[in-house]
Chains A and B, each alone.
Chain A
Amino acid sequence: MSRMILRRLLVSLVVLWLVSLLVFVATLLLPGDPARAILGQQATPERISALRHQLHLDDPVWKRYLDWLGGLFTGDLGTSTSTQGPVTALLGDRISASLVLLVLAAVLAVPIGLALGTWSSVRRGRATDQTISGVSLVIAALPEFVIGVALIVLFSTTVFKLFPSVTLTTPGEPVWRQPAQLVLPVVTLVLVVTPYIARMMRATMNEVLDSGYVEMARLKGVPERVVLRRHALPHAVGPVAQVVAIQLAWLTGGVVVVEFLFRYPGIGQALIDAVAKRDVAVVQAVTLLIAAVYIVVNLLADVVGILANPRLRTEAGR
């Protein structure tokens, strides 16, 4: 089992390395000169060549890649062309702001999703089940900005005026200082993720509840409540943990649109700004960050899966 986990770990590391290569190569394709972009209108040939040297743009490509990779480990993510400051300074507070959003959404979405899925499965075929399945099918289809705009119209601007539709904190103040502004972004993310968790939980529970040992327990006269708690739920944990983890990894990508919509000062908004201004160092840093989280959470999901049920994990499992 530990060999399998080690193997997964190695695969993840290789994937992470390939991703870094991909992100780096993408920037080489960019037309124009970053030094010129940073200096803008005040560029003189001397200052450009000085900055090119300072940014090591005159080094060979392989050396630039190694420098960039080395910088990632030492916390030097390069220079932003739009703020003309280090990328780390730009992203510092934003990372914690995004984390607040992600953790809150996860803490709410996971139990709700599991509970709804279990409930739906226990009431299989009945009205409760059909309602939960139907609603989750509809919500799961909606892009996150559609859900977000609907929430804004319902709870911020038009129907009820309860929560802010944009982030109100002044720059530099932590976002949680005004909790009301977190409500709509968090609810949007919860609504986006919960249907998947609920649907997967329902499917897994359906299989578990149909299985032989649950049948045996029932025949032995164990009360249904205990069957559910003692026999069914533990067996559902492995596969569902994986889906949950993948959904949480997905949140790091989905947060981009949600942050833009609510003007939330996180890394997602930084990414959109950077793409619009073609500020490549920032785009590189944020995409790599998101990919890293994605890979690590996927790895954790696989490890949980292996630990929960080794036989479930086959090489072509995903």
Chain B
Amino acid sequence: MEERCRPNSLSRRRFLSASLAGAALLLAGCGTTFAAPAPTGPPRRGGTLRVGVTGGGAADTLDPHSPATNPDIARVINLYEPLLIRDHDYRLQPVIAQSLTASADGRTWTAVLRDGVRFHDGRPVTPADVVATFKRITDPKAPKSGATSLSMLAEVVPAGDRAVEFRLSAPNAGFDDLLGQYSLGIVPADFDPKKPIGTGPFKLSQFTPGLQSTFTRNEHYWRPGEPYVDELVLINFTEDDARINALLSSQVDAIDQVPVALVDVLRSDPRVRVLTAETGSWLPFTMRVDRPPFDDVRVRQALRLVVDREQLINQVLSGQGKLGNDLYAPFDPAYASELPQRKQDLDAARKLLAEAGHPNLDIELVTAPIQAGAVEAAQVFQQQAKQAGVTVRIRKLDTTTFYGDNYLSWDFAQDFWYTRNYLPQVANGALPKSPYNETHWHDPEFAALIDRASRTMDTAERTSLLKQAQKIEYERGGLIVWAFENRVDAHQFYVAGIVPDRTGISLGGYQFRQAWIGKEAA
């Protein structure tokens, strides 16, 4: 596009009227040359940050322990804080807990609480609050969404006046990872969802489900200096164009989830900064290993060889993604990066299919707009498979039907996952008891390795076990993982402190405590 544009042909006035003209793309890729300068120096205090967030609806909630939509997640992250959380580099960092240590047998984990952490009303956080929080989450009458991954948690008891003990029913080496979730925020023992009080950087001042929520700075916040802005406004936007137009017409200061096809267009606007973050989110094709023809490992491997991953990334993600290798959890220290990168090999695929007795394979792929790019990926796969003589019939469903009665029983379909480390992901999707085992993956050798690994406290030994487990999935699993997609967000040039975040959560993990407004805004 650039060569067609003459630099700087746009006057400021015309530029503004053009933005108001509404179409997201009105600048047509021109005018890249006079980008407005980003704020520099130490963070400035004050101002209001208005953020357009994708999704949400009448079911919007302030419940700290069952956020569902993006606006829910953004609210929860800014109101509450868990004991630990993944930082921007996907490393586990202590938050309310100052430290978390495991006993030698991996059955007891002790969290020491950080000094000086106070709730919005000024009361300090006590072990009793932590105990009550986990009681609320795992309440058998109304379990919250975090409860499923805590099934091994037997009880939580205070240990002295600054520590809490988590006693498990089975040894678990990855329990710290399970505690490091935004949906496990610590709330006071007398928590009332109508008066949402947490330890987060912002206090709620107003909330209208489906529309917007307003927050003010928490004066008691424990991190020195933060948050920088006085007020935070989160506005729901369901439509891509509306969100982008709100940014271009300066109605909001930042938006999440820019459609990848529009990245170049937004980059060309001198006032807009595009924030690209590598993540561990993935959009796999899922083959049921217990159903013909996918019960034959040769068919599964053939279809994995049919995929041209580079082409998928280029066509579907406009290049915004990292190559996948039929493995997940790329940020896990145990990620099996030593396994050779799988590439398209049509001859090998044809040979495998012929051996399996399916020289003219004809399969149905169930797809739905479950995530931007899902239906498109299915179409690209269909074309690639054709080159190997495989007929793929696409059955496009609406999202409700896709996630309806037949979800998890489609023979060949797709799914979408955010960043997770290896063991938590396996617990969610790769064991016979996992809640979302789309491929019906049930491999005794694999399960035994996982079981041993989760009991192994020694890091080196555990890593070697996890690498063996990944090799099994690489050689006979039912997932085609073709990429880890980038998260692309955008904000005004005068917004600072929002950095790329690997978790897959938009806009620096929605951690607006770090954001500040530069002078140029005025």
Contacts and interface: CB of A to CB of B under 8 A. Distances in A.
B57 A85 contact: yes
B23 A156 contact: yes
A171 interface: yes
Given A84-B58, A157-B21, A164-B21, A278 B208 contact: no
A259 to B, nearest CB: 12
Contact of A152 (B23, B210, B407): B23
Contacts of A181: 22
A36 interface: yes
B349 to A, nearest CB: 33
A171 B23 contact: no
Interface string B424-459: 000000000000100000000000000000000000
Contacts of A163: 21-22
Contacts of B145: 42
B95 interface: no
B21 A36 contact: no
Interface string B201-243: 0000000111110000000000000000000000111010110
A165 B21 contact: yes
Interface residues of A, number: 37
A83 B58 contact: yes
A165 B249 CA distance: 13
Given A32-B405, A168-B245, A170-B212, A37 B22 contact: no
Contact of A156 (B21, B210, B212): B21
Contacts of A40: 403
A170 B210 CA distance: 11
Interface string A12-54: 0000000000000000000011001100111000000000000
Contacts of B436: 41
A80 to B, nearest CB: 7
A169 to B, nearest CB: 8
A164 B55 CA distance: 22
A40 B21 CA distance: 39
A152 B24 CA distance: 12
Interface string A157-183: 100011111111011100000001100
Nearest to B24: A166
Contact of A37 (B57, B212, B404): B404
B241 A166 contact: yes
B474 to A, nearest CB: 28
A264 B199 CA distance: 39
Q: Which of B57, B59, B208, B400 has the most C-beta atoms of chain A within 10 angstroms of its own C-beta?
A: B400
Interface string B18-38: 101111111000000000000
B246 interface: yes
Interface in B373-408: 398-401, 403-405, 407
Contacts of A133: none
Contacts of B17: 161
Contacts of A277: 398-400
Which of B22, B210, B398, B407 gathers most chain A CB within 10 Å? B22
A83 to B, nearest CB: 4
Interface in B245-265: 245-246, 249, 251-252
A278 B400 contact: yes
A115 B6 CA distance: 47
B249 A168 contact: yes
Contact of B245 (A86, A164, A172): A164
A81 B398 CA distance: 13
Contacts of B407: 41
B398 A278 contact: yes
B21 A276 contact: no
Contacts of A278: 398, 400-401
Contact of A81 (B251, B252, B400): B400
Contacts of B23: 152, 156-157, 164-166
A81 B59 CA distance: 10
A83 B46 CA distance: 35
Nearest to A280: B400
Interface in A70-114: 80-86, 89-90
A279 interface: yes
Contacts of A164: 20-23, 245
A276 B402 CA distance: 12
Interface string B406-417: 010000000000
28 contacts: A32-B405, A41-B407, A41-B436, A42-B145, A81-B400, A82-B57, A84-B58, A85-B58, A156-B21, A157-B21, A161-B17, A161-B18, A161-B21, A161-B26, A163-B21, A164-B23, A166-B24, A166-B241, A168-B22, A168-B242, A168-B249, A171-B236, A171-B237, A180-B20, A263-B241, A277-B399, A278-B400, A279-B400
Interface of B: 17-18, 20-26, 57-59, 145, 208-212, 235-237, 239, 241-242, 245-246, 249, 251-252, 398-401, 403-405, 407, 436
In order of increasing CB-CB distance, the 7 nearest A-B pairs are A164-B22, A85-B58, A161-B21, A172-B211, A83-B58, A83-B57, A84-B59
